[in-house]
Structure 1
Amino acid sequence: MRTFLRKISTGAIVSVAVGTMTLGTLAGTANAKPEGHCGQSFTAETDGATAHWSLDCSGGQITVDGWYQDDEPDGDCVGVKAYFADGSTKRNQTCDGWGSKRSFKWTAPGSIADVYLYEY
C-alpha cells in the first residue's frame, strides 16, 4: 500500500480515510497507517521522505521493524513515530540531510501499532 501526502502547516487531524490517516505535526507532514496489524507491511511517502516497515507478532508482543530516509535537499528533518496499544510511544528521527537513511526496530505488548512518517 502506498500513500502520498503534501506538506501541511497545521497541528490538527486533517482526514481519516480507509487505511490512511493524516496528521500535521510540528509544521511538517505526517503519514500514518492507523492500527497496523501483525503480518502487515507498509510503505509511506511524504513530498520529501520515504519509509517502509513491517509488523510482526510473537508472544503477545508486536515488533515494528523498518527504515526511513530523507529524499529531498530541502533542509527538513525526517522521523518515524509509533503509538502502541499499551500506551507507549517510540520515535526515531534524523536531521542528517538529503540521502540519509536510518533503520528502526521497536517492540511493545499488543498486536497493533499506529506508525507515522513525518518531516519537520
Structure 2
Amino acid sequence: MSRTRSHLRHAAIAASVGVTSLTGAVVTTTPAAAGDITIQTVCNQEMSPVVGGARAYWKAECDDGDIFVTGWVEDTSADGKCGQVEALINGLWERSRKACPKGEVETFTLSGDGYTAYVYLTNK
C-alpha cells in the first residue's frame, strides 16, 4: 500500500471512531455516551472542552512523579443533567463534584501517580 493510501486509510479509521488530534492531545467522543469528550492530558497542558450542556477548563501540572489536574466544570443547560469531570490516572478514577443546575460551577483538583491523565467531560 502506498504511503498516501496508508495515511488516507488511517485518517478514515480515525474519523470513523471520532479521534482528533488537538495540540498533541487525543480527543475522543464516544457514540455510546453522546456528548461526552475524553482528552489525554499531559503535564503543562491546558484544555477548555465543551459538550452539549456542559463546559470545563483544566490545567495539568506535574510534580515529583504526580500529576494534578485542576480546574472547573459548569452546567450550561437546563436539561436535568449535570456536568462532571472524571479522570483516569494510573488506573484509578478521580471525579469532580457534579455541577447542576444550569449556571452552577464546581472547582476540582484530581491527582494521582504519573504524568498522563485521561480526563473526561460528561453531561449526565
Q: TM-score, normalising length from structure 2?
A: 0.76
Q: 71-80 or 97-106, which moves further after superposition?
A: 71-80
Mapped pair 1:111 → 2:111: no
Mapped pair 1:18 → 2:21: yes
Distance 1:40 1:95, change over 3 A: closer
Q: Which has the higher strand share?
A: 1
Structure ID, larger Rg: 2
- C-alpha root-mean-square deviation of aligned residues, in Å? 1.8
Q: Which has the higher helix share?
A: 2
Greater RCO (Cα-Cα under 8 Å, separation 6 or more):
1
How high is the sequence identity, in percent, across the aligned residues? Answer: 30
Map 1:1-120 → 2, pairs under 5 A: 14-19=17-22, 20-24=27-31, 27-34=33-40, 36-84=41-89, 86-94=90-98, 96-120=100-124
Distance (Å, rounded) in 2 between the aligned partners of 1:89 and 1:74: 26
Q: TM-score, normalising length from structure 1?
A: 0.79
How far 1:95 moved relative to its partner?
5.7
Distance 1:38 1:95, change over 3 A: closer
How far 1:61 moved relative to its partner?
0.4
Distance (Å, rounded) in 2 between the aligned partners of 1:74 and 1:16: 27
Q: Deviations over 1:74-107 (max 9, x none)?
A: 21121111011x2111112426301010001022
Q: Determine helix, strand or coil for the equivalent of 2:100.
A: coil
Matched AA of 2:56 = A
Distance 1:88 1:74, change over 3 A: same
Matched AA of 1:54 = K
Retained in 1: the 8 A contact 2:74–2:99? no
Number of equivalences? 105
Distance (Å, rounded) in 2 between the aligned partners of 1:61 and 1:117: 21
How far 1:16 moved relative to its partner?
1.6
